[in-house]
């Protein structure tokens, strides 16, 4: 009870602070970032039971397929939120390190730690859609959100590259564009399917150049053209069954 009251007081103070700083009712990225960080800190110190994650159903399935929706903070209808967070991976100029893009939760839990220098680091992801004709150019240099979802009824999930439709017998959860690390970088990377209606982390539009995600173009050669088209951005689809 005391913790709940404490959390409510902090939230009210935070909302009042934002209202004071932004009296003109203008959508302000720094205000949205402040509220987002405040909620994350509350989950970190008070636990998800105090500020629960959003779910699509009061009945949590223990056997449904799980998948990550890159570029969004909500799950498609028919799925529950396992957790929301931030896309991250190795630095784009790293000469080694893991090559997997991870969805890092909003509220990390630490145990034993040291401030000494490590030999491996993880960085937040940024959209590198610098081309003005890019489908997601509006997100250039923005930080990438993510959400891990669990289906109510589907038991399998696959990401299909180069298609924005699922094969017969499969259900489309979301469609988007294929992203990955730049070929000009030295760091390892993998491929992720970023939602075509992608969003950005609140207040995260800064050129910090950590883990970078570029749209993937098809290149003719061993890849047959047609049916592929040289230089066209590849789509993707997240499908469940």
pLDDT 10s digits, 56-98:
555 555 579 999 999 999 999 999 999 999 999 999 998 888 8
What angle is formed at CA 107 by the lines to CA 43 and CA 73, rounded to 5 degrees?
90
- Please check the confidence at residue 39 and state whether its pLDDT lies above 50: yes
The ranges assigned to domains in the chain are 1-52, 55-106+120-240
CA dihedral 54, 59, 62, 68 (to 10 degrees): -30
Interatomic CA distance for residues 165 and 1, integer angstroms? 48
pLDDT band at 54 (very low <50, low <70, confident <90, very high): low
| Residue 81: C-alpha distances to residues 69, 74, 101, 118, 149 (Å) | 10, 7, 19, 32, 5
Q: Which two tokens stand for residue 218?
A: 């098809």
Q: What is the DSSP letter of 43?
A: H
* Of residues 8, 9, 28, 4, the one with CA closest to residue 18: 28
Q: Report the pLDDT value the prediction gives residue 18, as an integer from 0 to 100.
A: 43
Q: Report the pLDDT value the prediction gives residue 197, as an integer from 0 to 100.
A: 95
- Please check the confidence at residue 2 and state whether its pLDDT lies above 50: no
pLDDT digits (tens, 9 = 90+) for 132-191: 888 999 999 999 999 999 999 999 999 999 999 999 999 999 999 999 999 888 888 899
What angle is formed at CA 167 by the lines to CA 182 and CA 125, rounded to 5 degrees?
25
Tell the burial category of 128 from Cβ atoms under 10 Å away from its Cβ (0-12, 13-18, 19+). buried
Q: What is the DSSP letter of 100?
A: -
Q: What is the DSSP letter of 233?
A: B
pLDDT digits (tens, 9 = 90+) for 223-240: 999 999 999 999 999 999
Exposure string of 16-39, with b = 16+ CB inside 10 Å and e = fewer, is: eebeeeeeeeeeeeebbbbbbebb
pLDDT digits (tens, 9 = 90+) for 111-139: 888 888 888 899 999 999 999 888 999 99
pTM: 0.76
Report CA torsion sign: 53, 54, 58, 63.
negative
Q: Which of 23-32, 115-124, 191-200 has the lowest mean pLDDT?
A: 23-32
- Please check the confidence at residue 52 and state whether its pLDDT lies above 80: no
Q: Is there a contact between 84 and 141 (Cβ–Cβ < 8 Å)?
A: no
Q: Report the pLDDT value the prediction gives residue 40, as an integer from 0 to 100.
A: 53
136 or 1: which carries more pLDDT confidence? Answer: 136
């Amino acid at each position: 009870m005391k913790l709940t009251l404490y959390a409510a007081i902090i939230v009210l103070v935070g909302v009042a602070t934002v209202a004071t700083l932004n009296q003109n009712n203008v959508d302000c990225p720094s205000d949205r970032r402040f509220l987002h960080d405040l909620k994350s800190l509350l989950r970190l110190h008070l636990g998800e039971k105090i500020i629960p994650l959003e779910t699509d159903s009061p009945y949590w399935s223990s056997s449904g397929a799980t998948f990550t929706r890159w570029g969004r903070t909500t799950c498609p209808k028919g799925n529950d939120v396992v957790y929301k967070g931030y896309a991250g991976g190795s630095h784009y100029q790293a000469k080694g390190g893991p090559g997997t893009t991870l969805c890092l939760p909003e509220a990390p839990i630490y145990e034993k730690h040291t401030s000494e220098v490590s030999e491996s680091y993880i960085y937040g992801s940024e959209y590198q859609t610098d081309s003005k004709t890019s489908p997601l150019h509006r997100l250039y240099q923005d930080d990438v959100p993510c959400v891990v979802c669990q289906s109510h009824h589907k038991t399998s999930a696959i990401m299909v590259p180069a298609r924005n439709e699922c094969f017969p017998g499969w259900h489309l959860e979301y469609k988007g564009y294929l992203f990955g690390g730049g070929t000009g970088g030295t760091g390892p990377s993998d491929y992720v399917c970023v939602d075509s209606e992608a969003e950005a982390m609140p207040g995260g539009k800064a050129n910090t150049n950590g883990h970078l995600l570029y749209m993937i173009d098809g290149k003719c050669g061993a890849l047959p053209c047609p049916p592929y088209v040289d230089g066209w951005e590849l789509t993707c689809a997240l499908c469940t069954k």
